[in-house]
Amino acid sequence: MTRVLITNDDGIDAPGLHALARAARAADLDVTVAAPMRQSSGSSASIVAAEEDGRIAIERRQLPGLDGIPAFAVRGGPGLVALVAAHGAFGDPAEVVLSGVNHGANVGRAILHSGTVGAALTGGLNGAWGLAVSLDVGMNPTEFHWDAAAAAAVDVLPFLLGRPRGTVVNLNAPNTAHNRGVIEARLAPFGIVQTTLAERDAGRIRLAVEDLPNTPEPGTDAALLAEGWVTLTGLDAVSAVALGYERVAASIRP
């Protein structure tokens, strides 16, 4: 039975997390849940945690409707959760890190900042398969199709497990009960929302999130998601880029 860690950046009480755990259990996966105690959106792959005497607080939880599934609330972000899980903090290390279902789409190059994606990438760096899952709820949703997004994620798992260990993919689902299917998509240059500076004074600043005014490029994850597709994008966590720099011997000073 495949061991799966389910985490997120919306926190241990988030409905998307619970939906993903239910779907994974229904697929006969060996599920462990470990997620931040509090909202950790925008944490990327940070491993910063709230420590006391050099220790990170972890609480055992019982999640509603998920009897028998080990669940832990961690005083740290999802990247940290995926890292400590790889070292056996919650039992045998997981073979798959499922991160989500996130409240809001994670598309375009802006996924660099996503804690949902950061957890999946951290899992991949530590030898697991990683799958980040997000639901495109928009700015003012009236309903949430968490189960549809979770089902789409579980459906692509056989494909993911057929790839080499360390493979990480990013999945985004439209906020509908039915979608057009799964399609591979490249990252858009930007996301579908942007962070702006909403307030600034002498001692503080405040950020806000708003929709981007531009139309997404055809064929990108942002565009295909808007057309009703579940988008799937392969991610490369960290890679070197050749710069063509010529090595120059350091000058010797007397």
Token pair for residue 145? Answer: 């199709």
pLDDT digits (tens, 9 = 90+) for 45-54: 666 766 666 7
Q: Alpha-carbon distance 92 to 8, whole Å?
A: 19
193: tokens are 């929302």
pLDDT value of position 151: 98
169 touches 207 (CB < 8 A): no
Q: What is the mean pLDDT of the chain?
A: 89
Pick the CATH number of 3-235 from 3.40.1210.10, 3.30.70.120, 3.40.50.300, 3.20.20.190: 3.40.1210.10
For 66-115, give the DSSP string. Answer: -TT--EEEESB-HHHHHHHHHTTTTSSPPSEEEEEEEES---SGGGGG-H
74 vs 198, residue with greater confidence: 74
Which residue's structure tokens are 């597709």?
Answer: 229
Asked whether the predicted pLDDT for residue 247 surpasses 80, the reply is no
Question: Which range, of 91-95, 158-162, 198-202, averages the lowest pLDDT?
Answer: 198-202
204 has pLDDT over 80: no
How confident is the model over 60-96, as pLDDT tens digits?
999 999 999 999 999 989 999 999 999 999 999 999 9
Residue pointed to by tokens 């295909």? 224
Are 23 and 114 contacting, i.e. CB atoms less than 8 angstroms apart?
A: no
Instruction: Enumerate helices (H) and strands (E) in the chain, giving the number of each.
Output: 5, 13
At 251 the pLDDT is: 62
- With 70 as the cut, is the pLDDT of residue 202 above it? no
In this prediction, residue 131 carries a pLDDT of 98
Contacts of residues 164-168 at CB distance under 8 Å and 24 or more positions apart, as own/partner, are 165/127, 165/128, 165/129, 166/124, 166/125, 166/127, 166/128, 166/129, 167/124, 167/129, 167/130, 167/234, 168/120, 168/121, 168/123, 168/124, 168/129, 168/130, 168/131, 168/132, 168/234, 168/235, 168/236, 168/237
pLDDT given at position 233: 98
For residue 195 the two structure tokens come to 């962070």
pLDDT at 241: 85
Ordered by start, the domain boundaries in the chain are 3-235
Q: What does the alpha-carbon distance between residue 207 and residue 243 come to, in Å, rounded to a whole number?
A: 35
